Amino acid sequence: MNQLEIHNLAKFYGTKKVLKDISFTVRDGEFVSILGPSGSGKSTLFQMIGGITKPSSGTIYLNGKNINGKRGHISYTPQSASLLPWRTVLENVVLGQEIAGKKDLEKARKMIKRAGLEGFEEAYPHELSGGMKQRVSFIRSMMSPQSLILLDEPFSALDEFTRLDMQQWLLSIWEEHKKSILFVTHNIEEALFLSDRIIVFSSSPTTIKQEFSLPFPRPRDRKILLTDEFLHWKRKIYQSLSGDESEQLSK
């Protein structure tokens, strides 16, 4: 079943084409990554899916319903953790539910515990490390009633070690709840390790270059990072990306 379906999406600002010919789907419970150079109109795409910018042409369907310009259907996690500084961890986690109407503090406490943040329920965001803030932000999305989560380069501000831990952690939480995730990154390894499918974007104007379905089984282990198959895929995707934008990639 296709949960998110995007048909021929395009966006112009004046005469400037930002996005064109974007068509892809995210199935129910699927983890899809968008891989592309920074500044390739990915945030514009997210704003359109989130309903705060209207596409110039094309349609976005969620569970068969047209959601062009409609808000409240997805849960978005921005690049920065974006927690409300005056709310405690617990209060931040229930924010998504609060907006939708009802909050479940018991479930939130359980999720916080499951996320390894036990004892920090009453802490304020400024007391947490970068990785912890991202965890809180991600649990907030998992707790939200929406079934599609957009993650916008959530780990780009973290150091390499924390990032690896966070990726593994993200998978372990996600595998329990099986929400659909659309994940943006410019890190090839990250995309390979996390996703079921990778969509490679090119920049100015943004179009889809290629789409890959990955064969790695779940649950995933960090060991696959060093297998020949993984490296083979890495090369394949690198070749797809390389050319004009390769030097803009972080790795």
- Kindly list the residues in this chain that would bind another protein in the complex (CB under 8 A): 47, 50-52, 71-82, 84-86, 95-96, 98-100, 124-126, 129-130, 133, 144, 146, 150, 156-160, 163, 187, 250-251
Task: Give phi and psi for 201, each to the nearest 5.
Answer: -100, 150
Nearest approach, Cβ of residue 137 and another protein (Å): 9
Nearer to another protein, 79 or 210 (CB): 79
Nearer to another protein, 154 or 196 (CB): 154
Instruction: Write out the two tokens for 86.
Output: 């005056």
Nearest approach, Cβ of residue 241 and another protein (Å): 16
- What residues contact residue 20 under an 8 Å CB cut-off, 6+ apart? 10, 11, 205, 206, 207
Under 8 Å between Cβ of 111 and 141:
no
Q: How are beta strands 180-185 and 148-152 bridged, if at all?
A: parallel
Nearest approach, Cβ of residue 215 and another protein (Å): 25
Instruction: Write out the two tokens for 125.
Output: 């965001």
Nearer to another protein, 15 or 251 (CB): 251
Nearest approach, Cβ of residue 5 and another protein (Å): 18
Q: How are beta strands 2-13 and 16-27 bridged, if at all?
A: antiparallel
Nearer to another protein, 146 or 210 (CB): 146
DSSP bridge partners of 34: 184, 199
